[in-house]
Amino acid sequence: MSVQSGTIEDLRASVGLRIADEQLLRTLAGGLTDVENLLRETARSDVKAVHEAASHLVEAGGKRFRPLFTLLAAQFGEGNHDGVVTAAAAVELVHLATLYHDDVMDEATMRRGAQSVNARWDNTVAILTGDFLFAHASRLVSYLGTDAARIIAETFGELVTGQMRETVGPGDGEDPIAHYLSVIAQKTGSLIATAGRFGGMISGARPEYVEALTRFGDIIGTAFQISDDIIDIASPSHESGKTPGTDLREGVRTLPMLFALADPATDPRLVELLAAPITDDALVEEALGLLRASSGLDQAMATLSDYARRARVELSALPASSARDACESVADYLVARTR
């Protein structure tokens, strides 16, 4: 679901945001509009080919959860201002850049309902466009000071390390489940953690609030991926809007699959099916049925519930407010969307 239009109602639907405070809604909606304008401005280039490729995913929209969380975290300080908007846009640019690179590695043909850049142009254009956006994200963050520049550089390192570890797989003797959870924390949690950290830090929030927002972002980012893993198996397409079994077709072993493979009581047929990517639709349906009946799905849902609980614990360090309530609603939504 896209929030390119800048409506907070789209955000409520896409990330489960529940906000009763109309003033906070207006503040977030206004901030997101400013972020959207800055994204378009940053993606602009005098070179037509660069402009078209860089604007491709910006114009495709998206949930914009990372900039939203940056703006929301700023409510624990002095609120939105130019620095916060700059940080929010920079975090989203980093996210978009990773999508360009991911599509190359995954050989994707579609992204956010549009043809992926690697499919529309080629892999080289997609990689260079991702690099272009990384560069401009760094430029934006440089305006925020040396601490912010160091933080985004460290986040780059986490993102790349997580992707490398996912590509290589767990080492000898390494628990595949622990490996997977730490990888998605690096690939997804680290950038959302930085979004919360930037929002609190740049708005002048108290250090203990910044630390809590950073930890919340790390946990909730990991929980988002676990939630998506579950939905890919448990939810029919008419409910989730996505085609179930995408991970099975791509040969990606997600958390429910890893839990199932670790259980000696798992049906041997499922173990056989999970040994390689599945291209036959009938076999995908068979694997989905076996996964839904396995202990793996229940264990993944229990893990998601625990992450949501841990996220709410981090929020308890923040003062009671509409902003804190909004953050809590996201944690609740991640569990509810898998039921």
- Span 29-47, pLDDT tens digits: 999 999 999 999 999 999 8
Residue 11's pLDDT is what?
Answer: 57
- Span 6-19, pLDDT tens digits: 455 665 565 667 88
Residue 9's pLDDT is what?
Answer: 63
Nearest to 326 by CA among 29, 42, 39: 29
Q: Which residue did the predictor score with more confidence, 3 or 149? A: 149
Residue 240's pLDDT is what?
Answer: 44
Average pLDDT, the chain: 89
- Span 298-330, pLDDT tens digits: 999 999 999 999 999 999 999 999 999 999 999
d(C-alpha 34, C-alpha 74), whole Å: 15
- Span 211-225, pLDDT tens digits: 999 999 999 999 999
Residue 304's pLDDT is what?
Answer: 97
Whether pLDDT at 123 is above 50: yes
| Domain layout of the chain by residue ranges | 1-205, 219-339
Domain 1-205 annotated CATH 3.90.1640.30: no
- Span 73-122, pLDDT tens digits: 999 999 888 999 999 999 999 999 998 877 777 665 555 456 676 666 67
H-assigned helices in 185-294: 190-202, 207-234, 237-240, 246-250, 255-262, 268-273, 281-293
Q: What is the CATH number of domain 219-339?
A: 1.10.600.10
Whether pLDDT at 139 is above 70: yes
- Span 238-289, pLDDT tens digits: 454 567 898 999 899 999 999 999 999 999 999 999 999 999 999 999 999 9
Residue 4's pLDDT is what?
Answer: 47
For 190, the token pair is 């680290």
Single pTM value for the model: 0.91
Residue 115's pLDDT is what?
Answer: 65
Note whether 1-205 and 219-339 share their fold: yes
Q: Which residues 6+ apart lie within 8 Å of 254 measured at CB?
A: 180, 229, 232, 233, 247, 300
Nearest to 196 by CA among 97, 93, 101, 323: 323
At residue 1 the predicted structure's pLDDT band, cuts being 50, 70 and 90, is: very low
111: left (phi over 0), alpha (psi -120 to 50) or beta: beta
